[in-house]
Amino acid sequence: MRSRPIRAIVSAGIVVVVGSAAPASAATCGDLRPNLDAIATAEGLVIAPDGTIYFSQPFVGSNQQFLARYRPPYDRAPETRWLDLGGNALGIMLDPQRNVIYAGSRTLKKLL
């Protein structure tokens, strides 16, 4: 399996990178079962083709302006401060053909 290139979107000095330099695992659909107990709340949760779960927590604690991710094989805790957006993200969308994540921010009044 070939690696997909890493893509980035830059808006107002914020970079959102999606993709992996390493190829996805050979697991078939339904093989990996992440324990979601570590994700107390989530807004705009999306799952990438490689199984990475992207989400935001705009109403919880100190993670309100961060995008978070939880990567297979789900043997480590989710990265709740993966990317600082500078504002909260209330919706997230993944474009798997372009390998890009878009996040809508009400506080910034922008699509990132």
CB 43 within 8 A of CB 55: yes
What pLDDT sits at residue 9? 46
Distance CA 82, CA 80 (A): 6
What pLDDT sits at residue 88? 86
What pLDDT sits at residue 30? 61
- Counting every residue written for the chain, the total comes to 112
**Among the listed residues 106, 6, 94, 89, the one whose alpha carbon sits nearest the alpha carbon of residue 42:** 89
Contacts of 13 (CB under 8 A, 6+ apart): 86
Which ranges of the chain have pLDDT less than 50? Answer: 1-3, 5-17, 20-24
Decide: helix, strand or coil at residue 74.
coil
Residue tagged 């399996």 (tokens): 1
What confidence tens digit (pLDDT) does each residue in 10-31 have?
444 444 445 544 444 555 556 6
Is the pTM above the cut of 0.75? no
Domain boundaries, the chain: 7-20+36-111
